[in-house]
């Protein structure tokens, strides 16, 4: 009987890893539609900033460190190191390294991003 929760936890971890991969791929593809499919709450200034960034970037590279996943009743909190590099249209390379904290929700078996915040990497 003890194996059932472990399997549920394992599948949650797999689902979170898949969501993180989709997040990274959407940023690197500069695809706001793909980002909004996994982050339906994305709107307002945050969405405008990303759209502007995508329009002015020639390339975006995202590296995510090993995530720390803490399950909650209806989702999870995920934190990891995020290395973000943008090559601008005029060839400049801009890099940031932050600790990214995501709040995820699980509804009807599907995982989505509720919030993302970034803190200075330690």
pTM over 0.85: yes
Q: Residue 117: which residues within 8 A CB-CB, separation 6 or more?
A: 100, 101
Instruction: Give me the CATH code for the 3-120 domain, please.
Output: 3.10.450.50
pLDDT of residue 109: 80
* Inter-residue contact 87 to 72 (CB < 8 Å): no
* Inter-residue contact 77 to 90 (CB < 8 Å): no
Give the whole-angstrom CA distance, residue 52 versus residue 93: 16
Averages of pLDDT over each 10 residues, the chain, 122 residues: 44 89 98 97 95 95 96 91 96 96 91 95 74
Q: Residue 4: which residues within 8 A CB-CB, separation 6 or more?
A: none
């Amino acid at each position: 009987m003890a194996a059932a929760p472990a399997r549920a936890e394992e599948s949650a971890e797999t689902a979170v890893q898949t969501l993180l991969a989709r997040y990274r791929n959407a940023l690197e593809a500069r695809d706001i539609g793909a980002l909004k499919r996994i982050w339906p709450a994305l709107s307002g200034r945050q969405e405008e900033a990303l759209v502007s960034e995508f329009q002015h970037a020639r390339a975006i590279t995202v590296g995510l460190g090993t995530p720390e996943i803490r399950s909650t009743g209806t989702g999870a909190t995920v934190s990891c190191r995020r290395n973000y590099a943008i090559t601008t249209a005029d060839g400049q390379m801009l890099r940031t390294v932050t600790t990214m904290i995501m709040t995820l929700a699980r509804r009807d078996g599907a995982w989505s991003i509720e919030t993302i915040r970034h803190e200075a990497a330690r």
